[in-house]
Amino acid sequence: MPELPEVEVVRLGLEPVVTGAVVRAVEVLDERSLRRHEGSSEQFAGLLEGARLEAPRRRGKFLWVPIEGRDEALVGHLGMSGQLLFREPGAAAPRHLRVRLTLEGPNGRYDVVFVDQRVFGSLAVDVLRPAPDAPDDPAERVPGQVVHIARDPLDARFDDEAFVAALRRRRSPVKAALLDQSLVSGIGNIYADEALWRARVHFARQADGLSARTVRGLLGHVRDVFAQALVEGGTSFDAQYVNVNGQAGYFAHSLNAYGREGQPCPRCGTPLRRVPFANRSSHFCPRCQRLR
C-alpha cells in the first residue's frame, strides 16, 4: 500500500495543475471506487461539475482537494493499487480506469484519471470538519473521514513530545504502534521496517519498555527515511505505484531491510530475516536488532 512518501509525491504532482482548475465533466465507470462517498455516482458528479479546486492537501495516506467557496473537498485514498494520472483529453482510456475528471485550469484542459487494478482505493466528496487538535483554525480543517487520522511526522504542527509520551504508554509491539494511524500517520510496513532497522530496534519490542531517548531517535529515523524516499520519488516494487505522469519511484534501491530477506545486513553483514507480523511481514537484522 502506498505510504506517506508515495502519496506526497502524488500531491506534489497534482498541485501545479489542479490548483485553480474548474471541473468540467465527471465520468464514473466503476461505482466501487466511490465506496467512501455517501451518495450515488450521479450525486458525486453533480457536486464536482462546475466546482473550482484549491491546492491539494494530505494527512498521512489521505489526499484531498478543497473546493473553493464550500466546506467540502474531493478526497482520495489510493488503497493498494490506486493511481491518479494526467491524460490529454481524448486520450485512450488506461486499463483499470475507474473515474475520469475533465479539468480546465491555468495550464489548459486535461483529464485526471483514477486507475485502480484491485479496487481498494476510493474517491469521495466529503465535508470539511475542524481538526481535533486545532479546532479553531479554519486552515486546519480536514475531511470527516480523516478526522481520526493523526498528524504525520512531516507536519509542521506534529508534537514530538506528545508522540513520545503516547507511544511509551502503548502496551504493544513498537511496530504495531508505528502502524496505528490514530497515533502517527503515514507510516506503513516498508518505512516502519526501515526506520526500526536504522534505530537498531527490534519490531517486537514493547513500546512501553522503550526509553524516551530511544523513541526520539526512532522518530528522527522515520523523518530521515521519509525525506530520502521523497527525494527518490517513493518506493515502487511493481507497476502499481507511479506518480501523476506514470513514472515509478526508485527508493526501493535504497532500502536496507525491507524486501532483502537472506541478503547481508548493510551494517554488520548478518543475513536479514523476514518473519510474519500482524498479517504482514517484518524484515530485520537478528544481530543489530536483538529482542531484549
Cell of 29: 465507470
- Residues classed as catalytic: 2-3, 61, 280
Cβ neighbours of residue 123 closer than 8 Å, sequence gap 6 or more: 33, 34, 36, 37, 44, 74, 75, 76, 99, 114
Q: Is 170 annotated as a binding residue?
A: yes
For residues 36 and 126, membership in a common domain is answered with yes
Q: Is 267 annotated as a binding residue?
A: no
Residue 47's identity, in one-letter code, is: L
Note down the domain range covering 121. 4-146
Distance, CA of 212 to CA of 219 (rounded, Å): 11
Distance, CA of 104 to CA of 285 (rounded, Å): 51
Cβ neighbours of residue 76 closer than 8 Å, sequence gap 6 or more: 62, 63, 64, 65, 82, 84, 114, 121, 122, 123
CATH number at residue 85: 3.20.190.10
For residues 127 and 170, membership in a common domain is answered with no
For residues 113 and 89, membership in a common domain is answered with yes
For residues 96 and 170, membership in a common domain is answered with no
pLDDT per residue rounded down to tens, the chain (292 residues): 577 888 888 898 899 889 999 999 999 999 999 999 999 999 999 999 999 999 999 998 899 999 999 999 999 999 888 889 988 888 888 999 999 999 999 889 999 999 999 999 999 999 999 999 999 999 999 999 999 999 999 999 999 999 999 999 999 999 999 999 999 999 999 999 999 999 999 999 999 999 999 999 999 999 999 988 888 765 433 444 444 444 444 356 678 999 899 999 999 999 999 999 988 899 999 999 999 7
Residue 289 domain-assigned (yes or no): no
The contacts found for 282-285 with CB under 8 angstroms, 24 or more apart, are 282/175, 282/189, 282/193, 282/203, 282/204, 283/193, 283/197, 283/257, 283/258, 283/259, 284/193, 284/196, 284/197, 284/202, 284/203, 284/257, 285/197, 285/257
For residues 110 and 180, membership in a common domain is answered with no
Overall domain count for the chain: 2
CATH number at residue 186: 1.10.8.50
Residue 16 domain-assigned (yes or no): yes
